[in-house]
Structure 1
Amino acid sequence: MSEVTLYSTGACPYCAAAELLLKQRGITNINKIRVDQSRTDFETMLERTGRKTVPQIFFGDQHIGGFDDLVKLDQGGRLKAKDAP
């Protein structure tokens, strides 16, 4: 599986929940990018997603979306290290 990129902030409970869910499903190769610490990273996230909210989650270059989208993948049985998009 390709690396997961998780755009987040330090005070975002949904970001923490997304990271926990990923790890519970065996996905540990997570590149966390704190957009509250870097304006450049925030602008990159905005450019890649068109969204200003966190978390924003990518599997490789594929944009998954936010926490709700991640939960939908999980509920559909598609959030496992070997099966993730």
Structure 2
Amino acid sequence: MAKIEIYTSPWCGYCARAKKLLTSKGVEFTEIDVEAEPRRKPEMVQRANGGRTMPQIFINDRHVGGCDDLHALDARGELDPLLAT
């Protein structure tokens, strides 16, 4: 099973959409709430090559982007293989 990490904030609708998609796939993920843990935001920005918007999603330490990027991977049929590794 893939290691999935998602940096979020509680007020973010895109975060909710991304988490809903991952949950619908039946996968577990680690959520890092940068509002509750503000010290983690610089880590997120560095890992996401400067990405500051929420969410920032990583699958097996590969940055896949945000919510729209995650949904695009799914639409192209590329998400399920990533989740299975």
| TM-based fold match above 0.5 | yes
**SS of residue paired to 1:37:** coil
Q: Which of the two has greater helix per residue?
A: 2
**SS of residue paired to 2:45:** helix
Please, what TM-score do these two structures have when normalized by structure 2?
Answer: 0.89
Which stretches in structure 1 are left out of the alignment for 5+ residues? none
Moved over 3 A (4+): none
Alignment check: 8 A CA contact 2:5 2:31 kept: yes
Identify the residue that residue 37 of structure 1 maps to in structure 2. Answer: 36
Shift of 1:79: 2.1
Which stretches in structure 2 are left out of the alignment for 5+ residues? none
Note the alpha carbon deviations across 1:38-74, whole angstroms, 9 max, x for none: 2211111011111111000000110000011001100
Give the alignment's Cα RMSD to 1 decimal: 1.2
Q: Tell me how many residue pairs correspond in the alignment.
A: 82
Identify the residue that residue 74 of structure 2 maps to in structure 1. Answer: 74
1:9 maps to a residue whose letter is S
